[in-house]
Amino acid sequence: MPRAVAINVAANTNLPGRRGPVYGDGSFVYVPIPEREPTREPAATYADLGLGEYVPDDAVDLPVHRDPEFAGVHGAERYTYGDPNGVKAGPLSRLDPGDILLFYATLSVRADGDADAADWLPPEWGAFLIGAFEVAEAVTGDAYRRLAAEERERFGSNAHLRRETFDAAVLVRGTDGSRLFDRAVPLSTPEAGVEANRLVTDLSNDSGAGPWWRRVLRYDASATAQLRTYLDRDPSAWLEGGGAGAE
């Protein structure tokens, strides 16, 4: 049975200085972080990707680190993710084909329109699942270096391979069953962004104490099966029911 790991990605108040938005109907904008390393070819900027309005003025012309990449989003054609961080690389490198790599982001609440439709949202910001890979393969950076050229090509569009110096400690490739969600799935309670809901406290290995929204969340096979029931639901069902964390 598949297991799942959830990691924090996307724009935040440190990089580039503003979070992406989430709206009362659950829709959101995936805003990647800026590219901080030299690249072999010029990387697209926030302006190039039509994301300029979601970042600070001094970040509009910064190159973008498009990672994770979701096919059909921001010009991507594949599902890949790379990470140089050893804390994330360990659990990610142990993912097997068929396991689930979940991506969550902190998003700023933009409760436009009907206020009642936004009762499931925290007051100012919160953590939300925004996408998932069905894992095709996960390899360490060292294992990637040992691959033949034609095998390396499977990851060829990943942002870490576009850098002048390859630095990923792990690379993950998703199947065509991967996706960027249409609606954000809350990990925070409606009361406060810092408060974790039951998708964190009951299902993951994390207690929800402290800055849980920065940590790697692990789900065993049983918890993953329960989690998938939320991800497979019609978004309107959990919006009307007070969010994915509602009982």
- Residue that wins the pLDDT comparison between 239 and 221: 221
The answer to whether residues 157 and 81 touch, using CB atoms and an 8 Å cutoff, is no
pLDDT at 229: 84
DSSP assignment of 153-221, as one string? Answer: GGGTTSHHHHBSS---SEEEEE-TT-EEEEEEEESB-SS-TTSB-HHHHTTSS----SSGGGS-EEE-H
Q: What pLDDT, in 10s, does the model give residues 133-164?
A: 999 999 999 999 999 999 999 999 999 999 99
What integer best gives the mean pLDDT of the chain? 92
Q: Confidence class of residue 114 from pLDDT cuts 50, 70 and 90?
A: low
- Residue that wins the pLDDT comparison between 241 and 167: 167
The two beta strands, 170-174 and 80-83, are antiparallel
Lowest mean pLDDT: which of 20-24, 56-60, 137-141, 232-236? 232-236
Hey, where are the domains in the chain? 4-240
pLDDT at 204: 97
Q: What pLDDT, in 10s, does the model give residues 52-108?
A: 999 999 999 999 999 999 999 999 999 999 999 989 999 999 999 999 999 999 999
pLDDT at 119: 82
pLDDT at 116: 53
3-state SS class at 105: strand
pLDDT at 243: 47
Residue 234 scores a pLDDT above 90 = no
